[in-house]
Chains A and B, each alone.
Chain A
Amino acid sequence: MRVALFIPCYVDLLAPEVGVSTVRVLRRLGVEVVYPEGQTCCGQPAFNSGFFEDTRTVARHFLDVFARERCDYIVCPSGSCATMVAHYYPFVFRRYPHDARRAAPVSGRVRELSDFLVNVLGAADLGASYTGKAVFHTGCHQRRELGLFEEPRTLLRHVRGLELVEWENDALCCGFGGTFSVKMPDVSTAMADEKVRALEATGADTLISCDSSCLMQLGGRLTRTGHPTRVLHLAQVLDAGFEPDSDENNQDDQDDQDGTKG
């Protein structure tokens, strides 16, 4: 099984540890992982703001990079970016038959990470351990365009030491919505606060999601409002507890955010 990694631009730049954990998790399951280095972005930011021509420019580059990649699947640790390529590329190119033909086999091979693990590899227990009480936030695209509600929960229920709890208003959007988060900041923040209140009510110490964008929105609000909640991507939790200090390794990656390497 050979997969090409599709790492969203904001994971590449702002949360690379998510990509690192994704690689480790896949390799542990015997998957051969390649990373096409020319990739940049799927084009979703331009798309959500209505700039369809600019989206096509970026999407054509995406196709250039991935169309030639020989792989069984293209795996992406982001529900919203997987949705962009798998679900929205046909719409982006619907008046451009040549691009549409190129896009179809690429769109068809894109799978969000939890989808790939559970529905392609048939995996459930990855051998991870993480001590904590967590709520899981299902990103809107993941839920409504990809229909992947159970898969992350299936994986998390096998993580030793993890208590997964449900929370109120589970289906409400976190308020990110791409540029919406800066175009309508008061409304966006109010939406985040609604989720924060629901999290507080459960007493959870950890927030997990398959979407780093949602984690950025909710995590950014949690820290600003003084919550000590650990905010983790699914991949990081599935990668936890393997080496004696692998948790600290991840923590080091997160601390390494002040612009220096090391």
Chain B
Amino acid sequence: MADREQFLAHVRERIQSGGARPHEHYQPTVAPDSVWTPNRPRPSAWEPSPGELPERFLAELRALGGTGARVSDTAAARDYIVELARQKGATLLVRWGDEPTEALGVDAPLSAAGTRVAVWGRDADARDLTATADIGLSSAECAVAETGSLVLVTSAERGRAVTLLPPAYVAVVPSARLVPRVTDVIAHYAQAGPLPASLCFHTGPSRSADIEQSLAIGVHAPGEIHVLLVE
């Protein structure tokens, strides 16, 4: 087993052994039909106003097979979730215990309708129950309009399993938390100091094309995704 110093010294020595040879450099392509060729016509950059972001987000999400809706307030979001649980005959919903998810107030109406609610970070058995839950419910740090992505981070109240194990998953995000591009999110976290244990761009229903290249939805992670944008 190499120890760290030995390993790094060997790497350094190998790099330095290349001393005198000619350096390689980047070669741009020249074929007129290649996307990498510099002097080809360029599409214009997308510079959206904030008002355009919700529709773009929803269009991207829907193109991926997800379901998206704009709702007027948290009450409307709550009603959507209760109705979804009713339609699916859901007996168990597991949700994040963070403040935005708490503020939806879904626990009481769901229980009343026969859907048990387990809260991650509060209920000791939430972790085990997630494996059998019908629906997972969470908030999100933000959402990316360019790609239809949710940005999910972990904490004591925000378990990854809630967004992964149930076959259906609902995320509720304020429209004000929409950002245009993936690069905007990266730029933010590049300055934000230490990263959480997991920061995930979750983009649409899980998919695989491994059997005869036919698209398969929801093999391991949720095949049904709902995102509610709250005005």
Contact = CB atoms under 8 A, between A and B. Distances in A.
Complex contact flag A–B (Cβ < 8 Å): yes
Interface of A: 94-95, 143-147, 149-150, 171
B67 to A, nearest CB: 38
Interface stretch (B9-17, B30-38, B167-175, B189-197): B30-38
A147 B22 contact: no
18 contacts: A94-B22, A95-B22, A143-B31, A144-B29, A144-B30, A144-B31, A144-B34, A145-B30, A146-B30, A147-B30, A147-B31, A147-B32, A147-B37, A149-B31, A149-B32, A149-B33, A150-B32, A171-B33
Which of A144, A145, A147 is packed against the most chain B CB atoms within 10 Å?
A147
Q: Is the interface of B mostly helix, strand, loop or mixed?
A: loop
Given A147-B32, A149-B31, 11 more contacts: A94-B22, A95-B22, A144-B29, A144-B30, A144-B31, A144-B34, A145-B30, A146-B30, A147-B30, A147-B31, A147-B37
B40 to A, nearest CB: 10
Q: Is the interface of A mostly helix, strand, loop or mixed?
A: loop
A118 to B, nearest CB: 13
Which of B22, B31, B34 is packed against the most chain A CB atoms within 10 Å?
B31
The 5 closest A-B pairs by CB, nearest first: A147-B30, A149-B32, A143-B31, A144-B31, A94-B22
A150 B22 CA distance: 34
B33 to A, nearest CB: 6
Interface in B36-95: 37
Contacts of A146: 30
Contacts of B37: 147
